[in-house]
Amino acid sequence: MAKINNLKDLVKELERGPVYDTYGSILKNIDIDIKECEPYCTWNDDRHTRNRIFRNGGFELMLTCIKPGQATAIHNYGHQQGWAYIIQGELTEVKYSGGESTGDVAEVYRNKLKKGEMTYINDYEGMHQFVNESDKPVIALHLFVEPFEYWKAFNTESGAFEDVKSVYDSDHTAEFES
């Protein structure tokens, strides 16, 4: 498979391969320049942003933009599978054991992902979080199998799990539809 160097070609390739074990293989062939992603990025001084690139019945593609010191909530996606690919910067992935069934979370894994690296997210392994511990902004491309409307987040202040509705700072699906 030839290298995929733009988001439109990535969406087309993903639409052809709706089998779980092919999505990760497709992502291994991407070499997308930051300039390709910049028009779809939004930034916020108070929190990371979620920018939907494309969604259909089989998958969802999203860019997250995370400034230094920002982090996602500790969360999962209702036992979905996904991948995160670093387009720009360095992002720390933190995995947690526990969850709603046990009523708690405990850090079990921490890994720094650099530009061009990818991680596989399987919520059956527990909850996860992404943290920008660097001094530079991060852009990460996320692919989720079987799109979802709600996800679970762990509220660190209350110690409770909460349902969170999926919202986006921008939605570009119409631009990528055939």
The partner residues of 45 in beta bridges, in order of sequence, read none
In a domain, residue 1? The reply is: no
Q: Has residue 115 got a pLDDT over 70? A: yes
Percent share of the chain, pLDDT over 70: 90
Residue 113 lies in a domain: yes
Asked if residues 75 and 154 have their Cβ atoms less than 8 Å apart, the reply is yes
User: Mean pLDDT score of the chain, rounded to an integer?
Assistant: 89
| pLDDT category of residue 121 using cuts at 50, 70 and 90 | confident
* H-assigned helices in 58-178: 173-176
- Give me the helices (H) in 17-131, please: 20-27, 34-37
Tally of domains within the chain: 1
2 assigned to some structural domain: no
Is residue 86 in a domain?
Answer: yes
Within 10 angstroms of residue 108's Cβ, the number of other Cβ atoms is 13
Q: What is the pLDDT of residues 64-95, one digit of tens each?
A: 999 999 999 998 876 678 899 999 999 999 99
Note down the domain range covering 117: 7-176
In sequence order, the β-bridge partners of residue 138 are 66
Mean pLDDT of 132-147: 94
Residue 137 located in a structural domain: yes
**pLDDT tens, position by position, 3-33:** 999 999 999 989 887 555 578 888 888 999 9
Q: Is residue 97 part of a domain?
A: yes
12 in any annotated domain: yes
Radius of gyration of the chain (CA): 16
> What CATH code is carried by the domain that includes residue 48?
2.60.120.10
Specify if 38 maps to a domain. Answer: yes
Q: pLDDT tens-digit profile of 158-177?
A: 888 899 999 999 999 999 98
pTM for this model (two decimals): 0.91
